[in-house]
Amino acid sequence: MLIAGNWKMFKGPAETGAFCRALRETDLPEDVDVVVCPPYVSLAAAVQALAGTEIGVFAQNVHWELEGPFTGEISAPMLAELGVYGALIAHSERRQFCGETDESARTRTRNALEYGLDVIVCVGETEWEREAGETEAVLRRQLADLEPNDRLVIAYEPVWAIGTGKTATPELAEHAHELIKSLVDVPVLYGGSVKPDNAAELMAQPAVDGALVGGASLDVESFGAICRAASPS
């Protein structure tokens, strides 16, 4: 099981350091991999505070080029030099607000993996697409040309369940995860309003390999509870 906390645009360096020091003292299960994804400005603080632990630090995005005239962007070598293990790619908010496309997501993913970063690439349908019966078509399109890789994880995040309080039923999540695994045979996380009170039921589904947690990852106790809920032991 893998639990990744996406902090979005929360927690500067000072707050990140305090959170990560508290996380070090939290009772986390040994059979669950744990990752935090702070904003760029807080990555160094997270890496420093979590040094010597098994908790990984991921960025929330990474550019597809290793260097060049791309103002405001961050490359894989820069992240690696900081001690960052990997990156989220193509979160639905980046698709919605930052012009991320299926093609740019594939390019980012391919090049980050080639450089040696771990990648969690996000896919999922909007509420309109689900109601129109297009969920499978959307997932097939978003996953086109992605190939299995030991450092690749997919996060299924139904867009209609992100930040809305809505959560896919365990049965719906299981169906989507089975479809994704039939297309790309890698671990698949569920992301979409995961909380301590629904985490265990969601992650008990056979095809669910963990969770990408948003708002509930911003509190140490809440995040720790989700990590413990993910433990099969």
Task: Read off the pLDDT of residues 51-97 as tens digits, 9 standing for 90 and up.
Answer: 999 999 999 999 999 999 999 999 999 999 999 999 999 999 999 99
Q: What domain count does the chain have?
A: 1
CATH number at residue 175: 3.20.20.70
Domain that holds residue 164: 2-229
Helix (H) or strand (E) holding 6: strand 2-6
The amino acid that residue 191 corresponds to is G
User: What is residue 28's predicted lDDT score, i.e. its pLDDT?
Assistant: 96
150 CB neighbour count, 10 Å cutoff: 7
User: What is residue 169's predicted lDDT score, i.e. its pLDDT?
Assistant: 85
The amino acid that residue 17 corresponds to is G
Degrees to nearest 5, angle at CA 134 with 131 and 136: 125
Residue 65: which residues within 8 A CB-CB, separation 6 or more? 73, 75, 111
**pTM metric for this prediction:** 0.95
User: What is residue 163's predicted lDDT score, i.e. its pLDDT?
Assistant: 66
pLDDT at residue 99 greater than cutoff 80: yes
Q: Catalytic residues, which ones?
A: 91, 157
